A = this chain, B = another copy of it.
Amino acid sequence: MGFAEVVNTKFSQPVPMPAEGIETVSDDLRALQQHPLFRAFDAVDFARVIRQARRVRLGHHQVLYRQDMPASHFYFVVSGCLRLYRLDASGIDRTLDSLAPGDCFAEVMIYADPARYACYAEALKQSEVLMIPVKAYRALLAENPDYAQHALRHYASRAVSRFHDLEIMTVQNARDRLIRYLVDLLPGGAREGGEVELPLPKCLVASRLAMQPETFSRILAELKASGLVRVNKSRLFIPNPTRLMTLSQ
């Protein structure tokens, strides 16, 4: 494979294709049915895809797939919390995204060619994901133009948010990157204050924002000191996002 050896040894092996831990799909899939990629489906078609899906349980730090691995499935987060990251030659890992229950990921693999995962996916705690064969999904879309419209809409919104991520990363200043990241997490955007739960442990948020954990910690301390952010573990309260934004120049 070529990078199996650079994987941090504390990580478990990736799940062997299907795998033990499989069980028949049951009912907490209401959330999946609400997802933009599935919302348009009628009950029959939904059942058809789900029948071919498999539920997988992942332990803390267990790797679901690796970058460059051939991709025949995409995923839906039933419970828990995962992250997407890449490893480079020097073994540095860089977090690219975080995933929460209700998210789909690697869905770009439905139409990617060549279909190889672009990164690693790792559970950050005990998690459960549904693995959905891309073929099954693709087959339904081919038959049903209306479904395809919905998928296109989803792909478009995903593209917009990735573009936005890219925009954040071109900000040179570490503090400004953090501020924009926090404001994006706010439910109401920059409009109104609110509480935010970091979707990743702080050290991984740091890696997501291309800075060191120490730098993250110091910037957060500084924001706390100036009263712009109230911190309680991984919950942050932001009373006035507008003032925060102006600080970011």
Chain A residues near B (Cβ < 8 Å): 86, 88-90, 94-96, 108-113, 118-119, 141-145, 148-149, 151-153, 155-160, 162-167, 169-172, 207-208, 210-211, 245-246, 248-249
Q: How far is the CB of A106 from chain B (nearest CB, A)?
A: 11
Query: Is B159 within 8 A of A89, CB to CB?
Result: no
Residue of B nearest to A210 (CB): B170
Q: Quote the shortest CB–CB distance from A173 to chain B (angstroms).
A: 10
In the complex, A131 Cα to B144 Cα: how many Å? 29
Which one, B94, B171, B210, B246, contacts A94 given CB within 8 A? Answer: B171
Q: Is the CB of A108 within 8 A of B169?
A: no
Task: List the 10 shortest-distance A-B pairs measured between CB atoms, nearest first.
Answer: A111-B156, A169-B169, A148-B148, A145-B145, A155-B155, A94-B170, A162-B162, A90-B249, A108-B159, A111-B153
Partner of A163, one of B162, B167, B246: B162
Task: Indicate how many identical chains form the complex.
Answer: 2
The residue from B111, B160, B248 contacting A152, defined by CB atoms under 8 A apart: B111
- Inter-chain contact A159/B157, CB cutoff 8 Å: no
Tell me if A149 and B153 are in contact (CB < 8 A).
Answer: no
Check if B110 sits within 8 Å of A171, measured CB to CB: no
Are B148 and A149 in contact, CB atoms less than 8 angstroms apart? yes
Q: Specify the chain B residue showing the minimal Cβ separation from A116.
A: B160
Contacts of A90 in B (CB 8 A): 249
Contact status B152-A152, CB under 8 Å: yes
Q: Which residues of B contact A152 (CB under 8 A)?
A: 110-111, 141, 148, 151-152, 155
How many angstroms between the C-alpha atoms of A39 and B101 in the bound complex? 38
- Supply 29 A–B pairs (Cβ within 8 Å), ascending by A: A88-B171, A89-B246, A95-B170, A96-B163, A108-B163, A111-B149, A111-B153, A111-B155, A111-B157, A112-B156, A113-B153, A113-B156, A113-B157, A118-B164, A118-B167, A119-B167, A141-B149, A143-B145, A145-B145, A145-B148, A148-B149, A151-B152, A159-B162, A162-B166, A166-B169, A169-B170, A170-B207, A170-B210, A172-B210
| Least distance between A204 CB and chain B CB atoms (Å) | 12
A160 and B118 contact, CB distance less than 8 A: yes
A163 surroundings in chain B (CB, below 8 A)? 96, 108, 118-119, 162
How far is the CB of A21 from the nearest CB of chain B, in Å? 28
Q: Which residues of B contact A142 (CB under 8 A)?
A: 145, 149
